[in-house]
Amino acid sequence: MSILKRGVSRRRVLRTGMAGILATGVSPMIISKGAWAQDFCNNPDVTGKVVFGLNLPLSGTYAEEGADQQKAYQLAIEHINGEGDGGLLNVFQPSALTGNGILGKKVEFVTSDSQTLSDVARAGATRMIERDGAIMISGGSSSGEAIAVQSLCQELGVIFMAGLTHSNDTTGKDKRRYGFRHFFNAYQSGIGIAPVLAQAYGTDRRAYHLTADYTWGWTQEESIRDATEALGWETAETVLTPLGAGDFSQFLTPVLNSGADVLILNHYGNDMVNSLTQAVQFGMRDRQANGKNFEIVVPLFSELMAKGAGDSIQGIFGTSNWHWNLQDEGSQAFTRSFGAAYGSPPSQAAHTAYVQALLYADAVERAGTFYPPAVIEALEDFEFDGMGNGPTLYRGSDHQCMKSVLVVRGNDNPSSEFDVLEVVQEISREDSSYDPAIFGGELGSAEPVPQCA
Amino acid sequence: MTKFISRKDLTLFISFTAIVLALPFLAAPFGAAYPDLLQRFMIFGIFAIGFNILFGLTGYLSFGHAAFFGVGSYAAMWSFKLLSTNAIPALIFAVIVAGIFALVIGFVSLRRSGIYFSILTLAFAQMSYNLAYSVLTPITNGETGLRMALSDPRVLDRMFFEVPAGTPVPSLFGATLSGWNGFFFSAVFLIATFFLAMRITNSPFGMMLKGIKSNQNRMNYTGFNTRPYTLTAFVISGMLAGLAGALLVVTDPLAGAERMRWTASGEVVLMTILGGVGTLVGPVIGAWVIKYFENIFSSFNNNILYNFWSFLPEGMQSTVVYISSKFVGEGWHLTLGLVFMLIVIFLPGGIMEGARRIGALLERISGRTRSRSELKPTAAE
C-alpha cells in the first residue's frame, strides 16, 4: 500500500501498457466489423439513400466557378428526381433516365467547400464518403483538386465525376479507373486555338507565357507552346506565377522588355481576371512590338471570367468547352431551365457539372445497379448526343469525353451583360481527338475496395 | 522500487487513453465519428502537444511550426516512393528529417527571444512554404501535391517481395492504414506523445524549461547555459510536428504545400492558446475543437440550417437561417474567431482554465450546501 501511495512501480506501468496495446489492436476489428456487410462503399441498398457528394470551391481563386457549378448540380438533381422542367432529360439520347430518381431512389446531395486547396478538397471528399454516405463524388474547379480527389476516390472505391478541370494530367498521366471527365483538356485547346491564332496574328510571333504554377498551368503551357511553335511561333520566355497571386504587376513588367509580341495568360478564374486587367492597364494592348500590334491570348476562357474582366476581354481569343449561345437543342434546353431557375445563363463550368451528374445517373440506370465496376463499364465507350456538344464519346481508354471544342473571342459589342463571348469556330470531334497513349498513365483496377468505413 | 510515475499522472494518462480510444463512440452524437476527422484529431493533437513543449514550457512562441509539419509530410512521402510503402520507415525518416530541419532553424532563431524569435521562425516557415510551393517543385510537385505513383522505385519492397499491382497505398506490414486502421494507428502515437510530454513536464529537464520561461536572465546568472535546453525543446517539438505531418501522409497519401502556409502555423498557436498554454490536455482539446469547427461547421449548408430551425414560424425561419448561414459554411472562420475572442477575454488560460473554474465552483457549491445543511436546514428565503 505504501508503494502505491508514493507512486506506481515500473512493472505495473508496463503491465497496464501492454493491456492497453492489446486493447488497441483488438478494437479496430470490433468497430470495422460492420463495414464488411456492404459489398461496396456506401451501397444504397444498405444505406437506404442515394447521396451525391459535391466538392466545390466556394471560397478561394475559383470560388465563382464553384458557386455556378453548385447551382447546376442542384438543377441536375431536381431533374433526375423529376422536379422542374426536366431540362436535358428531354433531349439526351440515348437515355435510360426516368425522372424518378436513380433506380427508383430519390437523389440527395451534400456539399463541401474545397477552398481551391487540394488538402481541404480531400478532407471534404473523405468526410462526404465516410460520414455522409456519398455514392458518387463530383466537382472540383481546379485540376490540382480534381487530381487529388480522383486518386482518393480510386483508393476508396467511389466514382468521381470530375467537374471543371482542364489539365492534361486528369485523364493523362494521373488518370484513374474511378475518375471520369466530360470537360475538354489543354491539349485540345492547343489543337483548337492554334490555326485561329495563325490566321489572326500570322506565323512569325514571339510569345511570352505567364503560367499558373500547378498541374493545369504546366500542361496548358506545354500544349499551347507546342501548338504555337508548330505554327512557326517562337517562345520568348515562360514564367510561373503562384496560384491566387492577386497582384501580377511584378510578372508583367518584364514582358515589356522581353522582345515578345504576344502575351499568353495560362491563368483561370480570379487570377485571369487580375492578370488580364492589369496587363490592359499597363497599356499592353495599345503597344507595338517587332512592328506588330501586341496581342494577348487567354487559352481557356469562361463567361464568368469574361464578365469579371469587363472591357479588357474584347477581341481576345480563347477556347471553351461549351457556350450558352449555341443553337442546338441541348444547349437551348439547358440555358432555358438554368435561366428560369437562377435568372442568368449558365457558364461552361455549370454545363459540365450538370452533364456529369446526368451521365452518372444514366449509367447507373443502364447498369441496373450502383455497383461501381458495373457503372464504370456502362460509362466506358458510351456514345451519346443531345447534351450540347454534339455527338460525344466517353473514351474507355482514358475516361476523357471526345467532342467538339469551341474557339471563342471577347465580344466587341456586347448586347447584354451576359453576351460577352462570341463563338469564332467550332473544332469538330475528329479534329480535336488525339491518341491517349501520348500522355501515358494507367487507369488501375475497377475492383471495389472492401474497407470502406 | 523506484517511483516511476505519480498516482495523479497515472490516472490522467489512463483516462486520456480511455477517452482517445473511445472517441469513435463519444464523438458520434456530434456527427464527428468518421475515421478521417478522428485521424485529424489524433494528428493535430500530436502537433499541438509538440508545439506546447516549446511554447508552453519555455515560453518561446514559434510562428513557423507548420514548416516542420510539412517537411515531415514530404519526407514520409519520399520514403513511400523510394523505400517502402510500410509506414514505420516513413515515420522514422520523417522524424529524423524534421529534427535536422528544426536543429538548423532553431540554432539560428534561438539567438533571439520574444517577438524577434517569433518573426524569425515565421520568416523561415514562409521561406520553406515558398520553396515547396514554387521553387523546389521537382521535390514537392508544387500546388498539385506529391503522391505515390505506380512507377515509384520502392527499393525495399521490390527487394523482398513481388509488388502487388494497382495504386500503392501506405501499409503496416500488409494492413492498409486508411479508415479506422489509420485512426487507431495515429491514436497509439497520440497516446505515446502525451506520455512523452507528461514525462518531460515532470522531469528535471522540464523544470529547467519552466525556469527559462519564468526568468531566463536569472537562469543565466545562476550559471546555467540556457541555449542547449531551449534548442533541445525546439528540436523535440519540431520532431513531433514532423511525426504529425508524416501521420497525415500515412492516413491520406498526399503531401501538399498548403499545410506549410503561415495560416497553418497560426492554427497550431490558436489550438494551444484555445486549449490552455502549458497544460497537458489543453492543446489536444484545442486541436479537437478547431478541427471540429473546420470540418463540421464548414459543411453546414442552408438545407441543414432550414432543418435545424424548422420549429420556428415560416418568415422568422428564413431570417434566422440567413443570419446563421453567415456563421457556418464558408463563414466558419467567423464563428471560430468569436469563440477564440470570448475565450481569450474571459478565460485567458483557455478551455482548461474554464474546466478548472467549473471544478472549483462545483466544489464550492457542494461544500457550501454541506456546511449550510449542517448549520441551518431551513433557508431564510
CA contacts within 13 A on the Cβ side of B64? 27
What pLDDT is attached to residue B1?
Answer: 44
What pLDDT is attached to residue A73?
Answer: 94
**Distance in angstroms (rounded) separating the CA atoms of residues B76 and B43:** 14
Q: Which amino acid is residue B130, in one-letter code?
A: N
Q: In A, which residues are within 8 Å of B150 by CB distance?
A: 442, 444
Neighbours of A236 (CB within 10 A): 18
Look at A24 and B4 and tell me if their CB atoms are within 8 Å: no
Q: Is residue B125 part of a domain?
A: yes
Q: Is residue B257 part of a domain?
A: yes
- Does the pLDDT value for residue B189 go beyond 90? yes
What pLDDT is attached to residue A26?
Answer: 47
Look at A118 and B254 and tell me if their CB atoms are within 8 Å: yes
At residue B94 the predicted structure's pLDDT band, cuts being 50, 70 and 90, is very high
Q: Looking at the structure, tell me whether residues A220 and A239 fall in a common domain.
A: yes
The ipTM is: 0.76
Residues within 8 A of A (CB atoms), B 31-60 only:
31, 33-37, 40
Nearest Cα to B130, choosing from B266, B261, B263?
B261
Q: Is residue A344 part of a domain?
A: yes
What pLDDT is attached to residue A223?
Answer: 93
Look at B1 and A23 and tell me if their CB atoms are within 8 Å: no
A36-40, A249-253, B212-216, B350-354: least confidently modelled range: A36-40
**Quick check: helix, strand or coil at residue A339?**
helix
Q: Looking at the structure, tell me whether residues A245 and A277 fall in a common domain.
A: yes
What pLDDT is attached to residue A333?
Answer: 92
Q: In Å, how far is A67's CA from the nearest CA of chain B?
A: 12
Q: In A, which residues are within 8 Å of B305 by CB distance?
A: none
Q: In A, which residues are within 8 Å of B147 by CB distance?
A: 148, 151, 174
Domain of A23, in residue numbers? 4-31
Q: In Å, how far is B248's CA from the nearest CA of chain A?
A: 10
What pLDDT is attached to residue B158?
Answer: 79
Look at A119 and B259 and tell me if their CB atoms are within 8 Å: yes
What pLDDT is attached to residue B379?
Answer: 45
Q: In Å, how far is B241's CA from the nearest CA of chain A?
A: 17
- Does the pLDDT value for residue B380 go beyond 50? no
Domain stops at, among A300, A320, A340: A320
Among the partner-chain residues A5, A6, A119, the one whose CB lies closest to the CB of B258 is: A119
Q: Tens digit of pLDDT for each residue in B37-62?
A: 999 999 999 999 999 999 999 999 99
Q: Is residue B9 part of a domain?
A: no
Q: Is residue B308 part of a domain?
A: no
Q: Whole-angstrom distance between the N-terminal and C-terminal Cα of chain A?
A: 46
Q: Looking at the structure, tell me whether residues A350 and A389 fall in a common domain.
A: yes
At residue B169 the predicted structure's pLDDT band, cuts being 50, 70 and 90, is confident
Q: In Å, how far is B163's CA from the nearest CA of chain A?
A: 14
Among the partner-chain residues A28, A118, A155, the one whose CB lies closest to the CB of B256 is: A118
Nearest Cα to A109, choosing from A148, A144, A80, A147?
A80
Q: Looking at the structure, tell me whether residues A152 and A214 fall in a common domain.
A: no
Q: Does residue A246 contact residue A274 with C-beta atoms inside 8 Å?
A: yes
Q: Does residue A417 contact residue A313 with C-beta atoms inside 8 Å?
A: no
Neighbours of B19 (CB within 10 A): 12
Q: Looking at the structure, tell me whether residues A283 and A383 fall in a common domain.
A: no
- Cell numbers standing for residue A392: 460525344
Q: In A, which residues are within 8 Å of B129 by CB distance?
A: none
Domain count, chain B: 1
- Adjacent-strand bridge partners of A109: A52
C-alpha separations of B42 from A426, B39, B189 in Å: 53, 5, 8
Q: In Å, how far is A194's CA from the nearest CA of chain B?
A: 27
Q: Looking at the structure, tell me whether residues A177 and A193 fall in a common domain.
A: no
Q: Is residue B219 part of a domain?
A: yes
Q: Looking at the structure, tell me whether residues A231 and A269 fall in a common domain.
A: yes
Q: In Å, how far is A439's CA from the nearest CA of chain B?
A: 14
Q: In A, which residues are within 8 Å of B33 by CB distance?
A: 131
Average per-residue pLDDT for chain B: 87
Domain count, chain A: 3
Q: Is residue A409 part of a domain?
A: no
What pLDDT is attached to residue A318?
Answer: 92
| Whole-angstrom Cα Rg for chain A | 25
Q: Tens digit of pLDDT for each residue in B228-267?
A: 999 999 999 999 999 999 999 998 888 888 889 888 899 9
| B13 part of contact set with chain A, CB < 8 Å | no
Look at B142 and A213 and tell me if their CB atoms are within 8 Å: yes
Average pLDDT over residues B206-220: 91
**Distance in angstroms (rounded) separating the CA atoms of residues A53 and A136:** 6
Q: Is residue B234 part of a domain?
A: yes
- Cβ partners under 8 Å of residue A259, min gap 6: A206, A236, A289, A290
Q: Is residue A378 part of a domain?
A: yes
Q: In B, which residues are within 8 Å of A7 by CB distance?
A: 3-7, 10
Residues within 8 A of A (CB atoms), B 267-326 only:
295, 298-299, 301
- Cell numbers standing for residue A367: 447498369
- The pLDDT tens digits along chain A (453 residues) read 444 445 566 666 566 655 555 555 444 444 443 444 457 888 888 888 999 999 988 877 788 888 899 999 999 999 999 988 888 888 898 888 888 899 999 999 988 888 888 888 888 898 899 888 899 999 887 888 899 899 889 888 899 999 989 999 999 988 899 999 999 999 999 999 999 999 999 988 999 999 988 889 999 999 999 999 998 999 999 998 888 778 899 999 999 888 899 999 999 888 899 999 999 988 888 888 888 899 999 999 888 888 888 888 888 999 999 998 888 999 999 999 999 999 999 999 999 999 999 999 999 999 999 999 999 999 999 999 989 888 999 999 999 999 999 999 988 888 887 888 888 989 999 988 999 889 888 888 887 766 565
Q: Is residue B315 part of a domain?
A: no
At residue B115 the predicted structure's pLDDT band, cuts being 50, 70 and 90, is very high
Q: Looking at the structure, tell me whether residues A225 and A312 fall in a common domain.
A: yes
Q: Is residue A160 part of a domain?
A: yes
Q: Looking at the structure, tell me whether residues A50 and A179 fall in a common domain.
A: yes
Residue A254 preceded by cis peptide, ω within 30: no
- Does the pLDDT value for residue B120 go beyond 70? yes
Nearest Cα to A108, choosing from A190, A44, A33?
A44
Q: Does residue A371 contact residue A446 with C-beta atoms inside 8 Å?
A: no
Domain of B157, in residue numbers? 32-261
Q: Tens digit of pLDDT for each residue in B147-166?
A: 887 778 888 887 877 766 66
- Does the pLDDT value for residue B356 go beyond 50? yes
Per-residue HEC secondary structure of chain B comes to CCCCECHHHHHHHHHHHHHHHHHHHHCHHHCCCCHHHHHHHHHHHHHHHHHHHHHHHHCCCCCCHHHHHHHHHHHHHHHHHHCCCEHHHHHHHHHHHHHHHHHHHHHHHCCCCHHHHHHHHHHHHHHHHHHHHHHCHHHHCHHHCECCCCCCCCHHHHHHCCCCCCCCCCEECCEECCHHHHHHHHHHHHHHHHHHHHHHHHCHHHHHHHHHHHCHHHHHHCCCCCHHHHHHHHHHHHHHHHHHHHHHHHHCCCECHHHHCHHHHHHHHHHHHHHCCCCCCHHHHHHHHHHHHHHHHHHCCHHHHHHHCCCCCHHHHHHHHHHHHCCCHHHHHHHHHHHHHHHHHHCCCHHHHHHHHHHHHHHHHHHHHHHHHHHCCCCCC
Q: In Å, how far is B224's CA from the nearest CA of chain A?
A: 31
Q: Does residue A244 contact residue A217 with C-beta atoms inside 8 Å?
A: no
**CATH number of the domain encompassing residue A301:** 3.40.50.2300
Q: Is residue A231 part of a domain?
A: yes
Q: In B, which residues are within 8 Å of A243 by CB distance?
A: 143
Q: Is residue B273 part of a domain?
A: no
Q: Is residue A412 part of a domain?
A: no
Q: Looking at the structure, tell me whether residues A372 and A315 fall in a common domain.
A: no
What pLDDT is attached to residue A116?
Answer: 80
Q: Does residue A253 contact residue A279 with C-beta atoms inside 8 Å?
A: no
Q: In B, which residues are within 8 Å of A126 by CB distance?
A: 34, 36, 252
- Cell numbers standing for residue A278: 492589369
Q: Is residue A413 part of a domain?
A: no
Q: Which helix (H) or strand (E) holds A10?
A: helix A10-31
**Distance in angstroms (rounded) separating the CA atoms of residues A87 and A85:** 6
Q: Looking at the structure, tell me whether residues A369 and A305 fall in a common domain.
A: no
B76-90, B283-297, B326-340: least confidently modelled range: B326-340
Domain stops at, among A320, A335, A354: A320
Rounded to two decimals, what is the model's pTM? Answer: 0.82
Q: Looking at the structure, tell me whether residues A204 and A311 fall in a common domain.
A: yes
H helical segments located in A202-264: 215-231, 249-256
Q: Is residue A430 part of a domain?
A: no
Look at B258 and A118 and tell me if their CB atoms are within 8 Å: yes
Q: In B, which residues are within 8 Å of A78 by CB distance?
A: none
- Does the pLDDT value for residue B377 go beyond 70? no
B104-113, B296-305, B327-336: least confidently modelled range: B296-305
What pLDDT is attached to residue A325?
Answer: 87
The DSSP string of A406-437 is EEEEE-SS-SSTT--EEEEEEE-HHHH---GG
Domain stops at, among A289, A320, A351: A320
